[in-house]
Amino acid sequence: MDMNTLIKSGEMERTLEQPASIRDFASIMRSETVQTISPQCEMYRFASSRFSTDAETRDYYFETGFELANNLCEFLKEVGTNPYQEDLLDYAAGYGRVTRYFVPVFKSVTAADIAEDMITFHSQTLGIEGWISPPDPAGLRARTDRYDVVFVFSLFTHLPRDTWSKWLAAIFSMVKENGYLVFSTHSYELFELIAPGKFDAKHKRDFVFWEANETEGRLPTSAYGCNIVTEKFVRKELSRLKTAEFIRRYRKGEFDRYHDIYIARKKCESARQNIAQTQLSGESSMLNKLFSLFSKMRSG
């Protein structure tokens, strides 16, 4: 059942009346998600090279997508947010491995990626809107649309150092006030499992990048390779964004099987301005008191 049918049937209104704590998002996602896979999906082709049968590949593909979407819903429920009332952007959505699970449980879902055929798949198969991302962060910052939740899986894991921060700032600019940015990274803990001994203690820098990807030549490895980042690095980059509040780091295995997941909230600009105004007022009041005291001392 698509979102329009859900609304027309009245099921949406009945569901919204239920407290978020008893709403079963997991069963809705499992029962109402489109199961069509694009033959162009690189994630599926990559998975198929790791499993011996198509059934195993499909199970892995769908289950890992479901786990990410379900864990995001669980986080939102935990912080008192109802997905049915939220607009979500899945940035770097690919061919919808995760996106498809968002569709039945969010108010609206928008997909974004750099390839037109990816957006066409989302429109024709998943029935949602999408847009083609500009190839550079500056172009992204020019967009005026804003979302309650921006979900970014497996993008920041590929960016070189010179563009990582720029993309973070550009994508974060699309988050509404009090909304959330949710994104994945690679950790040293992951590579200790898949490449034992490659990164010993002396090489554990806050940011490591090398040229390799699974796009089969579609994207240059110099611009879209592979990286490892530390929590220290992520926190520092988020602190550069004046309205970003670090909320949580989920380590490998807690939210996704392999990636770390970071969540940041966009603080309310008006609240920041009120705080700043209060601080200025307090400083002004203190200066006035000091000036008055100094004047009395001189007159005395």
Q: How many domains does the chain have?
A: 2
pTM: 0.83
Same domain, 81 and 216: yes
Same domain, 268 and 281: no
Task: Specify the pLDDT at position 197.
Answer: 81
Task: Specify the pLDDT at position 28.
Answer: 95
The boundaries of the domain holding residue 289 are 273-300
Same domain, 26 and 134: yes
Same domain, 184 and 297: no
Helix axes 25-32, 54-78, angle to 10 degrees: 150
Task: Specify the pLDDT at position 43.
Answer: 93
Dump pLDDT digits (tens) for 30-49: 999 999 999 999 999 999 99
The list of the chain residues with pLDDT below 50 reads 1-22, 272, 275-276, 278, 294
